[in-house]
Amino acid sequence: MKKTLFKLIIPIFLMTSCSKNEINSGLQEMKDIAYGTHPSQKLDIYLPKDLNQWTKAVLLIHGGGWLMGDKEDFYLEACYLASHGFVAASMNYRYAGNQTNVHYQQMMEDVGAAAQCVLLQAPSIGFDNSGIALAGASAGGHLALLYSFGYDSLKKVKAVISMAGPADILAPDLLAVPGMRNMLGIVIGDTDRTKWDNANPIHFVSSLSPPVCSFHGRPDNVVPCTQSVKLNEVLNHAGVPNEMYLFDNSGHGFSDPDLKIVLENTYLFLKKYF
């Protein structure tokens, strides 16, 4: 059951109606930039054609149950954002593991180091380094939310996109998903749920949290859509600007028609708040 869940939790956010060459036309790629010494600490950057000093950067964080996945999983999404005028970076990170002693703290370090690495490219490449947006899918959505709400000490994150990301890891319906408790125990490094607050994005929400746009399939049986619904409610209560889109015909991953809406509204949200 656990192995099946790990496969399911990698969201398939693909624009299959477009080829890579069509989306990537005119974009410059910078591959495998190291932001640390570990082999997994690498990222790719995609530059738009009309790059200038006001161009903003977005960092994409892949899904995979915190235990697998790759920056290439977000290739098409990164190219879409770059083709619409953003510097788009897609990162790898160290997978969670008890044997490797990698847990959410180390993942937060990776997100912070990757974001800083992207912004450090700005002076030589020529884009805006005043802030960055984070976008993540599934486990990557959790990492994006957690870092932005609780671990961005420099306050560089100006907007967050969550695609089916866990926002409240203590929610009963999330913990009822087969294998989820075990996975979260590995991510946190402790099965004692009284110690999970510091890995729980919703725990850190405040009026100072950055604007959030969340996307979720209603029939998602891996990360229930109630995760985004509760996040929306908590953000509204805190007075944080946010948008939420729920889809009736997509589960843990988006169909082509829904993905088109996700990408278009991601672009509009970033233009509005970032």
pLDDT in tens, 203-255: 999 999 999 999 999 999 999 999 999 999 999 999 999 999 999 999 999 99
What percent of the chain stands above pLDDT 90? 90
Whole-angstrom distance, CA of residue 165 vs CA of residue 128: 27
Residue 24 — very low, low, confident or very high, per pLDDT cuts 50/70/90?
A: low
Place of tokens 């957690």: 146
SS3 content of the chain, % helix, strand, coil (to 5): 40, 20, 40
Whole-angstrom distance, CA of residue 265 vs CA of residue 274: 13
pTM of the shown model:
0.92
DSSP-assigned letters across all residues of 31-85:
EEEESSSSTT-EEEEEE-TT--TT--EEEEE--STTTS--GGGGHHHHHHHHHTT
* Spans of all domains in the chain: 2-273
CB atoms within 10 A of CB 130: 11
Residues with Cβ within 8 Å of 211's Cβ and at least 6 positions away in sequence, in order, are: 158, 159, 160, 240, 241, 242, 269, 273, 274
| pLDDT tens-digit readout, 173-197 | 999 999 999 999 999 999 999 999 9
Q: Quick check: 4 pLDDT over 80?
A: no
Whole-angstrom distance, CA of residue 53 vs CA of residue 4: 45
Q: Is 2-273 CATH 3.40.50.1000?
A: no
Whole-angstrom distance, CA of residue 202 vs CA of residue 207: 12
Residue 183 token pair: 């996975």
- Amino acid identity of residue 233, one-letter, is E
Q: Quick check: 156 pLDDT over 80?
A: yes
pLDDT at position 40 is 98
